[in-house]
Amino acid sequence: MLVLVLVAHGLVAVHIGAMAAAGALLGHVPHLIRLGVGPQLFRTRGRVPLAVGLLPLGGWVQFAEGDDDPFVGRAGWKLSVIAAAGCAALIVVGLALGASLDGLLRAWSQLVEGALHPYDVGAPLIRRYLDRLALEPAPAVGSLALKVAAVNLLPLPSTNGGQLIAGVVRVLAPDRAPSRTPWVAVAMVPMLGLGVGWILALARAL
């Protein structure tokens, strides 16, 4: 279990690090890089502070202070590039470690099926992955990298897929100010449902 947590933290670092690097290359130096969620384990000081959370379930890059949005209007294409960079880095890592690209395509169906049937589908998938991680660590880590990329490509507000779409919309409609509309809260429901299902699956697998 500890190995899985460390692997997950490493993949989060690859994902978020690629987004931070892409933003810096586009002229937006990050104000904060957050790896992991939940209780904060530590935070560095310096020009770009790094905060690390306990749970390797995500992270983010803050490119502006407060509620300022540096990607308004036609600068929205930068948001799309930054979002794409995170997923692209995970895919490159996955393929470099020997994972098969069709794992990316299977990940979406496994994500839904495992959440809907946490005991019959999700838990066995986790057990098989842990066995593979022990026997073939490199391809197993690569496979997980592709699955994390697949999750982040979902078109939801909190994922890279949603940010990709938001960036394109800002370019096509630059005069329309971004707003937190009710659909954002509604769109988060599927993500929460998936998360609950996989938490149940993990509890059963362990």
Per-residue pLDDT of the chain (206 residues; tens, 9 = 90+): 788 888 999 999 999 999 999 999 999 999 999 998 889 999 998 889 999 998 888 899 998 876 577 787 778 899 999 999 999 999 999 999 999 888 888 999 999 999 999 999 999 999 999 999 999 999 999 999 999 999 999 888 778 998 898 888 888 887 765 555 555 566 677 778 888 999 999 999 98
Q: How many domains does the chain have?
A: 1
Q: Which tokens sit at 6?
A: 């460390």
- The residues that bridge with 40 in the sheet, in sequence order, are 53
Contacts of residue 124, Cβ cutoff 8 Å, sequence gap at least 6 = 205
**How far is Cα 169 from Cα 171, in angstroms, rounded to an integer?**
5
pLDDT of residue 58: 87
Phi, psi of 53 (to 5 degrees): -95, 165
Nearest CA-CA partner of 115 in 131, 105, 126: 126
pLDDT of residue 65: 74
**How far is Cα 157 from Cα 134, in angstroms, rounded to an integer?**
35
Whether the full predicted model's pTM is greater than 0.75, yes or no, is yes
By residue range, what is the domain housing residue 100? 2-205
Q: How far is CA 165 from CA 33, 76, 145, 178, 184, in A?
A: 22, 10, 22, 12, 13
pLDDT of residue 110: 94
Q: Which tokens sit at 18?
A: 């690629």
CB distance 41 to 54 below 8 Å: yes
Q: How far is CA 50 from CA 44, 59, 61, 64, 65, in A?
A: 5, 11, 10, 15, 15
**How far is Cα 19 from Cα 60, in angstroms, rounded to an integer?**
9
Nearest CA-CA partner of 18 in 91, 100, 96: 91
